[in-house]
Amino acid sequence: MVRDADDTRRRLLEAAATEFAERGIAGARVDRIAAAAMANKALIYSYFGNKEDLFEAVFHALVVDTVEDVPIDADDLPGYAARLFDRIQQQPYALRLALWHSLERGSATMPAAVVAANEQKVAAVAAAQRAGRISDRFPPGELLALVTGLSLLGSPNLALTHTAGPDGLAVRRRTVVESVRILTAKDTT
Amino acid sequence: MVRDADDTRRRLLEAAATEFAERGIAGARVDRIAAAAMANKALIYSYFGNKEDLFEAVFHALVVDTVEDVPIDADDLPGYAARLFDRIQQQPYALRLALWHSLERGSATMPAAVVAANEQKVAAVAAAQRAGRISDRFPPGELLALVTGLSLLGSPNLALTHTAGPDGLAVRRRTVVESVRILTAKDTT
DNA sequence: TGCGGCCAACTAACTAGTTAGTCAGTTAGG
DNA sequence: CCTAACTGACTAACTAGTTAGTTGGCCGCA
């Protein structure tokens, strides 16, 4: 058996991501994570501190990466919404972790990186509005919240009216992108 | 000590609603529910079966009531969105329970009453579209999903960009209602 | 009015299994 | 041979669910 602390850490994080995404903090089992990572449970405590710290590490790795990896293009918000929509489909764990986080930890403790990424996006939207390239009907933070919120509508993890039928997802995607287009388009009523 | 089984059931349901809304199924503690209801734990099992059944009872009582108590007015979807928005602010437990439900139980098992209420709302939207009173730019189910989804944007329980400042909530409410107005208005581009 | 007994409502204490976290010791590799 | 990586076995606390037994109120009856 080769010994590689970095690889063990990585396996633990990966196993923890699956476990936490599926069951949340309270529902996750440390023993299950260790078993899935083919590592000893004590290593979790040695590398990450405790269960909650492990969750934070996983949350940071997945959610912060997602937020930072989908850059905004304030001149093409429908395209941004589409990319976010697709990312959520491809990596559903990030949204689930974010939901668990907000339910189990309260909404007060967002990582600084997420806050910073958001502020940068608000600034980008504000700049595009000032330049007259997109609608200034809404304040920039509100417009961003609309786009972000609409992009979540494809996720099966929100208790909303869920998409139906074989091409329900494609329909939903079109709905979201078109909505963003309408809401961000200049003029009209 | 007066004995009133109906009242005991009611107290247990109320305590369970608080506990489940705050901590979810896995995080909820049966002993805590019994203590908060000032009842014996065994009564929970006698009246509701087990912890999961108790959650279902609570979920049904709160979520189904919410869905049924906010009737749709397909001719005034901005008003409907406003009422839903306000309801979620006033009774945040219903949304939290719905989120816990979708995370912990999977999205497959929605109560028949919720599905029925939703179908009725889709039908109402479709009728208003056929009558030409609202935009038919989106399929009726999609339009309803948009309105519902946007109405959730005031909740602090969604990991989204949260409202900021003292009057952030009022701003958000205006954003949501105005968005729905734009998306449901006839013609334009 | 008073009484006895019946039963639903309720309770304290328990069980069996689980769980996060610890620790003394072992092992591989440089 | 030294140290970081790792392990198995442990514990103390917790947890859902059960059970045998108790109690209060109500109803028929005198």
Q: What is the pLDDT of residues B83-117, one digit of tens each?
A: 999 999 999 999 999 999 999 998 778 888 888 99
A41 touches strand C (CB under 7 A): yes
The percentage of chain B sitting over the pLDDT mark of 70, rounded to a whole number, equals: 98
Structure confidence at residue B157 (pLDDT):
83
For residue B118, the chain A residues in CB contact (below 8 A) are 161
Taking the C-alpha atoms of residue B1 and residue A72, their distance in angstroms, rounded to an integer, is 63
CB spacing of A179 vs B178 below 8 angstroms: no
Sign of CA dihedral A116, A120, A126, A129: negative
What's the burial of A109, exposed, middle or buried (CB within 10 Å: 0-12/13-18/19+)? exposed
Q: What is the rounded (10 degree) CA torsion for B107, A60, A33, B28?
A: -50
Task: For residue range A123-152, list pLDDT tens digits in order.
Answer: 999 999 999 999 999 999 999 999 999 999
CA–C1' nearest nucleotide, residue B29: D15
B101 to chain A: closest CA residue = A159
Query: A188 falls in which pLDDT band (50, 70, 90)?
Result: low
CA distance A2 to chain B (A): 37
Taking the C-alpha atoms of residue B51 and residue B33, their distance in angstroms, rounded to an integer, is 10
CB spacing of B161 vs A179 below 8 angstroms: no
Q: How far is the CA of A42 from the C1' of C25 (A)?
A: 14
Residue A189 scores a pLDDT above 70: no
Q: Which of A92, A95, A83, A94 is nearest to A180 (CA)?
A: A83
A182 touching B (Cβ < 8 Å): yes
Q: Which A residues in the span 31-90 are in contact with B, Cβ-Cβ below 8 Å?
A: none
CA angle A166, A79, B82 (to 5 degrees): 75
CB spacing of B149 vs A150 below 8 angstroms: yes
Structure confidence at residue A68 (pLDDT):
80
B152 touching A (Cβ < 8 Å): yes
